[in-house]
Amino acid sequence: MDLSNPTSENVIYMIEKITEKLRMVNSAALKAENFSTSKYEDLHYMYKMVMKRDTITPNEMQAIAAELGTLRK
């Protein structure tokens, strides 16, 4: 998938993959429609960072969730 373009489809894809990778229990809190393409670069950075990690500690997971919260509309 080409994630270089800030499209709503790419936002949906990245949020779904981040949610899967973090195995978030409350994935409803990260609904893709709550994110806009205006902060696409920040979201893309978070996506790349999360995807390259093999393991994520609970503290890191909490920090990532908090950061994603700041990127919401």
What is the per-residue pLDDT across 3-44, written as a single tens digit (0 to 9) for each?
Answer: 999 999 999 999 989 988 887 656 666 788 888 889 999 999
Q: Is residue 51 part of a domain?
A: yes
What integer pLDDT is reported at residue 1 of this predicted model?
Answer: 81
Crossing angle, helix 8-22 and helix 40-52, to 10 degrees? 30
Q: What's the domain count of the chain? A: 1
The tokens describing 21, both together, are 């990778």
The tokens describing 39, both together, are 């902060």
Q: Is residue 2 part of a domain?
A: no
Range of the domain at 13: 8-71
Output the furthest CA–CA distance in the chain (Å, rounded). 31
Q: Is residue 29 part of a domain?
A: yes
DSSP state of 25: T
Q: Is residue 3 part of a domain?
A: no
Give the global pTM. Answer: 0.84
Q: Is residue 1 part of a domain?
A: no
Q: Is the pLDDT of residue 60 over 80?
A: yes
Q: Measured between alpha carbons, how far is 36 from 10 in angstroms, rounded to an integer?
A: 10
